[in-house]
Chain A
Amino acid sequence: MTISDYLVTDDLTVLLGFIGVSVFLLQNLYKPQPLVHPILLGRQSDAGRVRNPGESAIYRNYGTGLMGRFPVRPDKDVNVATDFVKPEFDAPRTLWSTKITNTQLKARVSAFGSGIAKLVPEDSIVLILLNDCIEFIITDLALSEQSIASITLSSPKLLARVLEMHPPNAIITDKTFLPHVLAATGDAHERNHTLIVVDWSQPSEIPIHSWDAIESQGKVPQAPKNAPQPGSAYTVSFFETPSGGVQCVQLSHENFTSGVTAIKALFPSAINISTLDTIVSSHSLSTPYGRAIAYAALFEGASFATLPSTGIFHDGDTPALDVADILSATKFPIPSPTVLFLKPEHVQSLTSSVIDRAKKSFLFPLAWRHKFASLTEGFVTKDSLWDRTVFGSAREDVLGKMADTVKAVVISGGLLPSDALVPARLALSIPLINTYAHGSATGPLFATHAFDLQMLPSSSPATEAAHVGAPSVNVEIKLINVKDNVVEQGADPIGEILVRGPSVGNMLSADGEAGEKNAWVHTGKTARVMTNGAFKVLGSV
């Protein structure tokens, strides 16, 4: 047989050749484009060129740069907290159960402010012990406008200590927590503060003012004596450290405007927050970060609600952080939620529910395989063929109407295990932004790029948490207690996180003395920097 006998071609060859060429083109050219170019993920933070011995270099977000100024306000006219309620924007939106326009909200805020200014002396301290509700927002904005200091607690266990160290002139609480407050404040004749209770209508022997009565007393608004300044502190937040100690941080208007700027910066322009959005948060308004999320929703004109698990002041156990908690947001008359600020436990519970539902379909192994393959290329979408057949219906079974409208999930308030990240990305198929927040800052300290889908196995044997990305746009981070000899060899610096920036408040010492302005805050957490500038939070010091 000669060569030409081997290479005999016929019509079938033409047909097969045609099919072969099209299959080849399909395989090589039909690769999905990554949502963000991988070159950007290789340099997420800008590192300083010099470092002090025992410390790492100073890291900032790559977009801000080491020489850049930190963005402090989301818009040029937003200087104080009440500026978050833009008067020129007039469409109504729903906050928890109240449908309200910005003008009505501003009116209520100044009414309550005037009312309470008549009730308590100037330079007084008001303790707010409310669960998240619209009264909290109105109270907070009114007190900030009148420059009356307020105190919030992240846990009811701190109540006794705060009452002792900083006796307030007024306490605002609700009906269910009132007995605890009365018990904690002791006998009637020792009580030299005013009690204001939300939803209070019955007469009582102890002088208790109703929240609504104060608001109606202030219907003739009285302008505040001094206009609030952006740099002046107006609220103090007490929070617990992991070791059980108590820390308190003083926050100013500028801290909150910076926090809102940082929260807005989490969302790239393709998925940014606008008036069409509804934000649901699992972070309590008594924490700076939770309050900044609420202010961000207020500023953008979005509807807002919080999950029942944010309630701090209540009897009984906290509700579990799971899918039922997320679904209870739908009982408020808000439009279907579009952006969820959840804790890692919520996301893990949601992921396992969706995957359990999806496994019932016989196409699940194939769908999983295809979605995983496109994830390795950096691409994921909610509208692929596999979502329409397998995952979409699973999400709808678990989340109901929310499955269609949710466009992004921000994870904070804990460490997400790294083995939960890929299942979560595949099951939810929407941008998951992993962030790290701390009780001393109004904005997140670290945040991943919204479209970052990298799967980086841990280089250390112990299972680390998923990485939390680069420092936020308006903070700078450095690590201390770093081993110099290890770092000089080129290994990753590991040390305690120190943070500084306009969204970080002023930490007060144990006896209430303010520290110096813009000092480095010790967060008490260890982290590791990776070569691409992303951080992994490892645990407490």
Chain B
Amino acid sequence: MAYTLDFSTPVNSALLIYILFSVQKIIFPSTSTPKAIPTEFKHGYSWMPKEHPPTVLFKTYTPKTLEPFDGKSGGRILLAINGIVFDVTAGRNFYGPDGMYGNFAGRDASRGMAKQSFDLDMLTAIDQPLDKLQDLRPDEIENMKGWIDHFSNKYIICGKLVDNDAA
């Protein structure tokens, strides 16, 4: 029985060309490196992430500069205890405008943390000097320190709070 071996049929030519092309690529692999470094690991082995992991700059805040950060316009939420400013944006449910403790956003919450109260009279007005916390009992100071530890573990310390004229 004779086999028909006709290289000039279109299908055979196409297959032949494909085979020759692939064999050429196997024997002579490509050595070009992409001009732009890929930003996804799926796109190449030598890749780099597009951005650095986000970092926050440690800033000095005053009651007036801290106040806008109350989350009302969807921005960051900051809160101060004993002069340490915490970024509590991750806890928007608690400290956001409709949260249970929303009163404390953008303010010095030291007295409220010490006395375990979220009433508005725990907060000092923005244009007043910072609350010196001198009339707190030792156990209230302990309570406040406990809250500082809790916040340090859960949220980022991103600044310190000083008086309006000290900045």
A interface residues (Cβ-Cβ under 8 A, vs B): 6-13, 16-17, 19-20, 23-24, 26-27, 34, 37-39, 41-43, 47-53, 56-57, 366, 369-370, 372-373, 376-378, 453-457, 484, 488, 490, 492-493, 529-532
Residues of B within 8 A of A456 (CB): 37, 46, 48
Contact B12 A13, beta carbon cutoff 8 Å: yes
Which residues of A are found within 8 Å of B52, using beta-carbon distances?
47, 490, 492-493, 529, 531
By a CB distance below 8 angstroms, the chain B residues around A372 are: 31
Among B10, B31, B158, contact of A50 (Cβ-Cβ < 8 Å): B158
User: Given A11-B3, A456-B37, is A48 in contact with B31 using a C-beta cutoff of 8 Å?
Assistant: no
- Closest-by-CB residue of A relative to B56 is A50
Q: Mark B15-37, 1 if CB is under 8 A from A, else 0.
A: 11011001101111111010001
Is residue B11 within 8 Å, beta carbon to beta carbon, of the partner chain?
Answer: yes
Chain A: which residue is nearest B46 at the CB level?
A454
Cross-chain contact B55 with A49 (CB below 8 angstroms): yes
- Report A2 CB to chain B, min CB distance, Å: 13
List residues of chain A with CB within 8 A of the CB of B49.
42-43, 531-532
CB-nearest residue of chain A to B9: A8
The reply to whether B156 and A531 form a contact with Cβ atoms under 8 Å apart is no
Pairwise interchain contact B51-A490, C-beta atoms closer than 8 A = yes
* Alpha-carbon distance between A370 and B47 when the two chains are bound, in angstroms: 21
A508 to B10, CA, bound (A): 83
- Provide the bound-state CA to CA distance between A51 and B59, in Å: 9
Partner of B23, one of A7, A12, A23, A373: A23
Interface assignment of B57: CB less than 8 Å from any CB of chain A: yes
A16 to B54, CA, bound (A): 55
Instruction: Determine if B50 and A455 form an interchain contact, defined as CB atoms under 8 angstroms apart.
Output: no
Closest to A12 in B: B5
Q: Which residue of B lies closest to A42 (CB)?
A: B49
Cβ 8 A contact of A27, one of B22, B28, B58: B22
- Tell whether, in the assembled complex, residue A51 and residue B56 are in contact, meaning their CB atoms are under 8 Å apart: yes
Residues of A near B46 (CB, < 8 A) are 38, 376, 454-456
- A and B contact pairs by CB, cutoff 8 A, 25 listed: A6-B10, A7-B10, A9-B9, A9-B12, A10-B9, A11-B4, A12-B4, A20-B18, A23-B23, A24-B22, A27-B25, A38-B41, A38-B47, A43-B49, A49-B56, A50-B157, A50-B158, A373-B29, A373-B31, A376-B31, A454-B45, A488-B57, A490-B52, A529-B52, A532-B48
Shortest CB distance B38–A (Å): 9
Closest residue on chain B to residue A43 by CB atoms:
B49
- The residue of chain A having its C-beta at the shortest distance from the C-beta of B31 within the complex is A372
Contact A16 B33 (CB under 8 A): no
Q: Are A51 and B28 in contact (CB under 8 A)?
A: no
| Interchain CB contact under 8 A, B12 and A12 | yes
B41 touches A49 (CB 8 A): no
Question: Are B47 and A27 in contact, with the CB atoms below 8 A?
Answer: no
Q: Which residues does chain B contribute within 8 Å of A12, judged by CB atoms?
A: 3-7, 9, 12
Q: Across the interface, which residues of B come within 8 angstroms of A13, CB to CB?
A: 9, 11-12, 15
* Bound Cα distance A454, B56 (Å): 30
In the complex, chain B residues whose CB is within 8 Å of the CB of A484: 57
Minimum C-beta distance from A110 to chain B (A): 48
Q: In the complex, which residues of chain A have a beta carbon less than 8 angstroms from the beta carbon of B31? A: 369, 372-373, 376
Instruction: Check if A38 sits within 8 Å of B45, measured CB to CB.
Output: yes
Besides the known contacts A12-B4, A378-B45, 11 further A-B residue pairs in the complex with CB atoms under 8 A apart? A7-B10, A7-B11, A10-B3, A10-B6, A13-B11, A16-B16, A42-B47, A52-B58, A366-B27, A373-B29, A453-B45
Q: Within the assembled complex, what's the spacing in Å between the Cα atoms of A334 and B46?
A: 39
Q: Check if B11 sits within 8 Å of A47, measured CB to CB.
A: no
Quick check: A10 and B5 within 8 Å, CB to CB? yes
Contact call A376/B15, Cβ cutoff below 8 A: no
- State the CA gap A19–B59 with chains docked (Å): 67
User: Is the Cβ of B156 less than 8 Å from the Cβ of A49?
Assistant: yes
Q: Are A42 and B41 in contact (CB under 8 A)?
A: yes
Across-interface contacts of B6 in A (CB, < 8 A): 10, 12
